[in-house]
Structure 1
Amino acid sequence: MRLPVNHALPLAALIVLVTSPLAAKERRAPVAAPAASGPAADYPVVVGEPFTVAGTTWTPADQLNYDAVGYATTGEGTGVTAAHKTLPLPSYAEVTALGTGRTILVRIERRGPMVNDSLVELSGDAAAQLGVTPGSHTPIRIRRVNPPEAERALLRSGARAPERMATPEGLLGVLRRKLAEQSPLLPPPSTPPRMPTSLPLPQDSPVSSPAPTPKPAPGATSAAPQPPIRSAPPAAKPTEKPTAKPAVVSPPSASAPRKDGAFVQVGAFSVEANARKVAAQLGGSVSKAGKLWRVRLGPFQADTQAAAALRKAQSAGYKDARIQRGD
């Protein structure tokens, strides 16, 4: 005798299995993404928007050559990390204690400190490695760097990177003076000051020839009438009055001029066209001297004429113009 077969039972069992809470939980469980490691753990880099602390605006920026002095405090955070107002998150920086020169590497992970008189906030581990007392207001230098991946990995894992070479005392003195001249309530400069560099003299700038002997200022000749007064005629002729004119024309201190008189040398140029342009401007002449072209005014037989020509050249911008005797 054949028993009847119920074909609905297997289907019902399958429906119960699929719709059970355990099966639903297994279907909904997400697959956990592997944690970032290696260089990928430093990305993405966040810069952020400007923010204001007690009326002072701080603008975050991805500035590679950041180098500033300020004060450090201690606060939250684990590992050798720090909080900074403007450096990207994350980034790496060397922090130097200006009192000792001790320098460590930190990982910038947070924004802060939210006070204007402190530039950076160190974690407890970072403060311990730097050798500063927790809660102190320590003068520091902070400089952004790009350390090797091995040191980055140490800081990411919460360990310390090797200390840097101590900063020499000479540089510490410069940094302390820079900090003393800086207002603590303003954002510090992001780059250290640069030494000025001298600019080379342009090729066609006038090159003045040195005067053989220093000459008195033009006004000195007209203001020195004493020698002619001493050589005035005796008092037997009271009606004759000495005048200052002979003293201006031929002062005793000046030797008799040569027959070709005095010149005012304006300058010497390496390009003839430039020399002729200046000569036309001042009414002078051009002559070749070696590899240069000289511009001169004159000759003048009277010193007053040479002095007037000298003032004319100097007022035109040729401050190195000089009076020369003869050729």
Structure 2
Amino acid sequence: MTAVLRNVLAVIAPHVGGRSAGAGLATLLPSEANVTVVEATDENPSALHEAHVLITALAPVTAEHLAAAPELRLVQCASHGFDHVDVTAARARGVLVANIGSSGSESQNVAEQTFALMLALAKRLIPAHTALVEADWALPRLQSSLTELSGKTLGIVGLGTIGREVARRAGAFDMTIVYAGRNRLPRETEDRYGARHVPLDDLLRTSDYVSLHAPLTDGTRHLLDAGRLALLKPTAFVINTARGALIDQDALADALEKGTLAGAGIDVFDPEPPTAALRLLRAPNVVLSPHVGGATRETLIRIALAAVQNATRFLTGDRPNDVVD
């Protein structure tokens, strides 16, 4: 490791483990690294000023933080998402931003969480459980709304690492798979996952389930707004395990309250944690979870290893993987 690049600032937000998690992460970096662990990006101004590499676990990295870090060369996100980093400001300062997208660290659990939400909606698990607890044998009331995944069309928005794991599992449920994204994938990839590329609006019109797996950027913020939600069939379900701001949450609440959408399974919110004013908390036919798609014991270990390995690549002179475009 060169002496020029050795200062690492690990910023681990309290809700993902804070200093205790950061201490474990620090032990994975090469012994030559000078590692400082904090819970907020501006907690230690001196360490920020001297940092060559900043590893962030969902802690914001703003333009102001970047301006205060003249030695910074890489922001490594210990996550698939990178919307908590001001990528435009980083690019302007010549700072690389990388995530762990190609590592597959989160793909298994996010795909499992996607199907947990889908199945809970299809089988009406939440109202069924609540009714039984209240001594209400709800079968006569619920049976007309119970449905199967088999034979349904799953529309995947973003057939990347996670989207492909969702598609692989959908095949086992005998679902028809369509996908939309910035670029069409090679035919052999489509054939491997049994997925057919369609324009986004066509996907929304024809899918029984729509599952979001796109990154949050200026171009994808409120990708599903009121206009696009209106394209969905009234029997369709929306699943979001990517980023909360991909959906206009008020527009989604409107659709659920009006009955123009059958239901929604939501693992991510804007902001996080959501405020008590969020209408989705009281909307009908929703299944909600607190961003647990990347939070299993196994996933957290893989995420930490992937982030550290990528930062180490950079510190030892190689270009990091998964540099954000």
> Fold match, TM over 0.5?
no
Q: Which has the larger radius of gyration?
A: 1
Relative to its length, the structure with more strand (as a share) is 1
Q: Give the structure-1-normalised TM-score.
A: 0.18
Greater RCO (CA < 8 Å, at least 6 residues apart): 2
Relative to its length, the structure with more helix (as a share) is 2
Q: Give the structure-2-normalised TM-score.
A: 0.18
